[in-house]
Amino acid sequence: MDQNRLHKSLADFHLGGIRYFDSLDSTNDEAMRWVEEGAPELGLVIAAEQTAGRGRQGRSWYTIPGASLAFSLVLYPKERGTFILPRLTALGALAVREALQTYYGIPAQIKWPNDVLLDRRKVAGVLAEAHWSGETLKALVLGIGINVSSASIRTVSSQGALLPFPSTYVEAILDRPVDPLELLHEILVELIRLRSRVGLPEFMQAWERSLAFRGEWVRIFQADGSFQEDLPSSIEEGMIVGLAPDGSLKLRDHAGEVVAIRFGEVRLRPVPVSSQA
């Protein structure tokens, strides 16, 4: 990645600082190290390649130079209360969704809690990690990984990784080359715009409107690190009806009751039509 272009294209943002690496273990790990040293608000860590990129639930995340976008942003939330953490996590997914929709005309959706889907396939993932001081949330590292061109997902399969969900990449839908720097710019525009709105009802409405599989039956699994769909570990099944203010997913179950699935380490899968009750 051309560092001059990177700095020029992000000059309008007043970011706290930019740390760029050709190759790095993980931008989230680097951002956490930076937090320990006193990183500024909106400190950005970006890497062309990650050698130990991490996904949710202990999974690996591959970042291929030129084909993927991987960055982490340091936030110091001023808001207090348990409601803020799910919302700040959703902020990453919503910013990617809004950027794809507004600047590229691609109708992306959010697979609760925080995967971004195109055509029901995963195009981006978010790993939000909190830095606590006792009970107080001191900082949040918001790590975002996006598959931009085909090499980003071909490599995942060729490394024999078990894909937890079908994947895609931005260029597959757009059918033209996408400049990762331009995409980063548009995501940051949206992220900074939405950051000031996370406490407002309109933020929840935007998140709810973006939900994938709304009105469809889904299964929720306890995150046990396994991706074998035949494991009988589903904890809930129901039709997605929306979101609660704390970011919980509301499902209508077989008895017609609305149940809330708490935001956390769970996985969601659509129920194949053939096995719906």
Decide: is 203 part of the binding site for ligand BTN (CB under 6 A).
no
| Region of 51-59, 147-155, 186-194, 205-213 interacting with ligand BTN (CB under 6 A) | 51-59
Task: Provide φ and ψ at 271, rounded to 5°.
Answer: -85, 125
Closest distance between ligand BTN and the C-beta of residue 53, in Å?
4
Number of residues interacting with ligand BTN: please give it, by CB under 6 A. 20
Q: 72 vs 109, which CB is nearer to ligand BTN?
A: 72
Among 6, 15, 19, 27, binds ligand BTN (CB under 6 A): 27
CA distances from 17 to 8, 71, 73, 244 (A): 13, 13, 10, 35
Which residue stretch of 75-83, 121-129, 167-175, 240-248 sits at the interface with ligand BTN (rule: CB under 6 A)?
A: 121-129
Pairing state of beta strands 43-50 and 17-24?
Answer: parallel
Write phi, then psi, for 155 (nearest 5 degrees): -65, -35
Comparing C-alpha atoms, which of 129, 100, 124, 110 is closest to residue 27? 129
Tell me the CB-side half-sphere exposure of residue 248, using CA atoms within 13 A: 12
Q: Of 50, 109, 149, 168, which one interacts with ligand BTN (CB under 6 A)?
A: 50
127 binds ligand BTN (CB under 6 A): yes
Decide: 107 and 113 in contact? Cβ < 8 Å: no
Judged by CB under 6 A, does residue 145 bind ligand BTN?
yes
**Residues lying near ligand BTN in the complex (CB under 6 A):** 26-28, 50, 53-56, 59, 61, 70-72, 115, 125-127, 143-145
